[in-house]
Amino acid sequence: MENTDKKQVVFSAIQPSGTITLGNYLGAVRNWVAMQNEYDCIYALADLHTITVRQEPAAMRRNILDAYASIMACGIDVEKSIFFIQSHVHTHAELAWILNCYTQFGELSRMTQFKDKSAKHADNINAGLFTYPSLMAGDILLYQADKVPVGADQQQHIELTRDIATRFNGLYGNVFKIPEGFIPKNGARVMSLQNPLSKMSKSDENVNGCVHLLDPPEVIMKKFKRAVTDSDACVRYAEGKDGVNNLMTIYGAVTGKSYEQIETEFAGKGYGDFKTAVGEAVVEELRPIRERYEQLIKDKAYLESCYHKADEIALKISSRTLSKVMKKIGFVR
Ligand code: AQP
């Protein structure tokens, strides 16, 4: 008998390319946590993606473990969800190569992230940076995912994943589930506090632009107090007020308040009061995460046991899809 109670599958990943940011948290990780009861969730640290930008080996090793503990500290329950490390599961690199052969040069050339990152790392525009979306498509398609919780910046890569999967299915039959992006209503695009026209990023060179999950309260408060605003001196969401809009987005995402409620709350008050309130709300949101992280990072053996267990399950699930793909293409098994 068909199992009609089968839960939908959720897949998402994050690069351990630095300390996890408030943007990563509000845009993606918070949804990862919220989806754990309703879906079969599979999450990964996308360390293979990380080397599209040059990494210092010791820092990379530290970042991987830190990111693993930080994501767990956000509330990923390893008894409910599978949380593995991408490079430990060889099917990802293998399917990425295959999908590269089913992805067009023109499609990859149109990716905004490729254009942005090539401009930022003009001395290292490597082939991996260009084919990043085929690796990401493979990550998702290996698990036959229904939903992919990501921030708005990843929408274009999800669309490409759907195109690649549809093309492949058109050639070989129903091999891949066509996944959907799952983008939060609030917090999908958190911008830099210093340059509100560019997104908050782990690798931002201006440390004041980015709030990290593990920043101590006084650092968070200082960053919000220095946040770029405007000369209007009025808390309202409007075109051209990018800095204030961004702060309102963050405050709304953390407190659940609408823009109208925020405008009413700060009517007649200056930006100083507003920035303090945003900073305090973020400090309280992140406090339990930092405390839990401090405990987890001390227990390396426990972290290792968690990802080894998850790596094995991920390998088992993803191998099924990879075998099917290879058989359909004509490889001798
Ligand atoms: N500023 C953001 N606002 C909302 N969501 C965001 N995400 C990233 N930045 C924001 C979401 O976080 C998830 C993990 O992102 P990633 O690590 O895979 O890659 P990224 O988008 O390149 O993140 P960063 O922080 O900008 O890293 P670097 O500096 O290394 O490039 C994704 O779901 C993403 O949408």
Strand 82-85 with 147-149, pairing = unpaired
Is 80 noted as a catalytic residue in this protein?
no
How much of the chain, in percent, has pLDDT values that exceed 90? Answer: 95
- Yes or no: say if 229 and 271 are a contact pair by the CB < 8 Å rule: yes
- DSSP assignment, residue 214? T
Say whether 207-293 and 9-188+300-329 share the same fold.
no
* Residues whose CB falls within 8 Å of the CB of residue 313, separated by 6 or more in sequence, listed in order: 82, 84
Per-residue pLDDT tens for 73-105?
Answer: 999 999 999 999 999 999 999 999 999 999 999
Averaged pLDDT for residues 218-225: 98
Which candidate, 286, 282, 299, 319, places its Cα nearest to that of 68?
299
Every domain of the chain and the residues it spans = 9-188+300-329, 207-293
- Yes or no: say if 182 and 38 are a contact pair by the CB < 8 Å rule: no
Which candidate, 92, 86, 97, 96, places its Cα nearest to that of 47?
86
Residue nearest to atom 24 of ligand 1 (CA): 201
Q: Which of 49, 52, 56, 153 for a ligand 1 pocket mutation test, highest count of atoms within 8 Å of Cβ?
A: 153
Neighbour-count burial of 122, counting CB atoms closer than 10 A to its CB (0-12 exposed, 13-18 middle, 19+ buried): exposed
Residue range 207-293 forms a domain whose CATH class is: mainly alpha
Is 199 noted as a catalytic residue in this protein?
yes
pLDDT at residue 2 tops 90: no
What separation in Å is there between the alpha carbon of 267 and the centre of ligand 1?
33
Q: How many residues does the chain have?
A: 333
**For the CA atoms of 189, 193, 199, 203, what is the dihedral angle to 10 degrees?**
-130
> Which one is the CATH code of 9-188+300-329: 3.30.930.10, 3.10.20.600, 3.40.50.620, 3.90.1150.10?
3.40.50.620
For the entire predicted model, the pTM comes to: 0.95
What separation in Å is there between the alpha carbon of 200 and the centre of ligand 1?
8
CA 188/CA 153 separation, integer angstroms = 8
Per-residue pLDDT tens for 308-326?
Answer: 999 999 999 999 999 999 9
Averaged pLDDT for residues 165-173: 98
Q: Which residues pair with 148 in a beta bridge?
A: 181
Which candidate, 160, 163, 143, places its Cα nearest to that of 317?
143
Q: Which residues line ligand 1 (CB under 6 A)?
A: 14-15, 17-18, 21, 23-24, 26-28, 46, 150-151, 153-154, 188-190, 199-203
- DSSP assignment, residue 207? G
pLDDT of residue 4: 55
pLDDT of residue 1: 47
Distance of CA 96 to the CA centre of its chain: 19
Residue 200 Cα: closest atom of ligand 1: 1
Residue recorded with tokens 């210093």 = 194
User: E strands, 137-211, where?
Assistant: 147-149, 180-182
Q: Which residues pair with 11 in a beta bridge?
A: 42
